[in-house]
Amino acid sequence: MMKGVVRKFRLLTQWMLLPVIAATLVPHARAQNSVLRDRLDKLLADGRIVAAQAIVGRGDVVELNCAIGTTMPGGDRPVNAETMFCIGSCSKPFASAVVMSLVEDCILNLKKPIDVYMPAFGSLKIQSGGASRAPNMSEVLSHRAGFYSQKRKMTQQQSQYIRDFGLTLEASVDGIAAQPLLAAPGTGYAYSGAGYCVAGRVAEVASGTSFEQLLQIHLAEPLKLERTTYFPSEGETNIAAGGTLKNGICTADPATPHLTKPELRLPLIGGSLYSTAQDTAEFAKAVASRGRSDARQIMKPDIWEVWTSRPYSDGGYGYGWGLSVRNGKTTLVRHSGALAASRSSLVVNLENGVYGVVHYTVVTGRPGGRNAEPGGRINVALAATMSQVAER
């Protein structure tokens, strides 16, 4: 994928002095009869999920590795280890890792106002008047930039900028820049997919490289993530899609990005990444190992420390992660994801090195809406299985 001269030169110069060791997860699994596997099997049998992949491990030892269900509701193609899932907001840790790589390379600065890179953000408005300054990248990554939130009521236009996959990232962010802020930068938390689109576009402008290419350069190639991308190839068929129920009929959810017609153009930076549990687990291993996988160092320890730290004393969200902090030290990082009928959970325990990944699809439109979905039960089972692994 993308074997351009620029990327080849960058990879050669960046990694030529580092040892190269094969980065593959050990294939055997010692805890296949886990709480999580039992829960997923039951949810599949009950029709609560369409498909799932799950991996729980520590280092190179994989304790659980399973793939169940079919790639489409009512379909006959079984999910396997190579099936790609849209991982929703679990995209955010990947995206923030890319941004941190640019910080490490002195291409971006977390504390510089982003209008240094994109002047349009120098004249933002809030309800009470003009903003005194543009947000900085630290605020954008930690959802404190003041951008509008999908967790609150959005206008139709605001929704379009982060849900119309026919837009380019440039067009999306141009539209976001014209929207009023919820609050002055740095004054409050508001979870924002729009903010992550801004982060991705700033990274593009500062580096002169598309965010997809940056993802491949800084994460996918060094970690050997062969099935992780914002843009699955046009001929790709091994992709999971959940369903939507309407008038008693269940069909593949057309809001799933790869089903966009006529063309998928928008990399929703914090929400539309595609990956497999295998690839996501390789990323999780690097997180647990302070930025180093078996293959390469993707992040220096001092940058990793910033990336996994809590930038603000109030609140539990950091640079692309939900954080658990004890005695001033981050002990666990996590994220969940939901887009269309795709769901994901990613958890890394930084104290014991145990990581867990679940990608799954559901059927939306059931009575009870999101409250009827199995995410809570899956997360409880994931935590229980990670505890099992930690005790071994």
CATH of the domain at 295: 3.40.710.10
The whole-angstrom separation of Cα 103 and Cα 137 is: 10
Residue among 31, 81, 144 nearest 385 (CA): 31
Across residues 11-23, what is the average pLDDT? 32
DSSP secondary structure letters along 83-133: -BEE-GGGHHHHHHHHHHHHHHTTS--TTSBGGGT-GGGGG-EETTEE-SS
Comparing 3-7, 40-44, 115-119, which segment has the lowest mean pLDDT? 3-7
Residue among 343, 289, 296, 281 nearest 94 (CA): 281
Residue 127 has pLDDT above 80, yes or no: no
Structural contact between residues 318 and 329, judged by C-beta atoms closer than 8 angstroms:
no
Work out the burial of residue 276: count CB atoms within 10 Å of its CB; fewer than 13 is exposed, 13-18 middle, 19 or more buried: buried
Q: Give the count of alpha carbons within 13 A of 39, CB side only.
A: 20
> What pLDDT is attached to residue 131?
82
Across residues 259-273, what is the average pLDDT? 94
Q: 346-376, pLDDT tens digit by residue? A: 999 999 999 999 999 999 988 777 767 899 9
Residue among 196, 205, 203, 199 nearest 218 (CA): 203
3-class secondary-structure state, position 139? helix
Domains of the chain: total: 1
The sign one gets for the Cα dihedral 192, 346, 199, 212 is negative
List the domain range (segments joined by +) for residue 234: 5-390
Q: Kindly indicate the confidence band of residue 28, based on its pLDDT and cuts at 50, 70 and 90.
A: very low
Q: For residue 220, give Cα distances in angstroms to 54, 282, 335, 384.
A: 20, 10, 19, 30
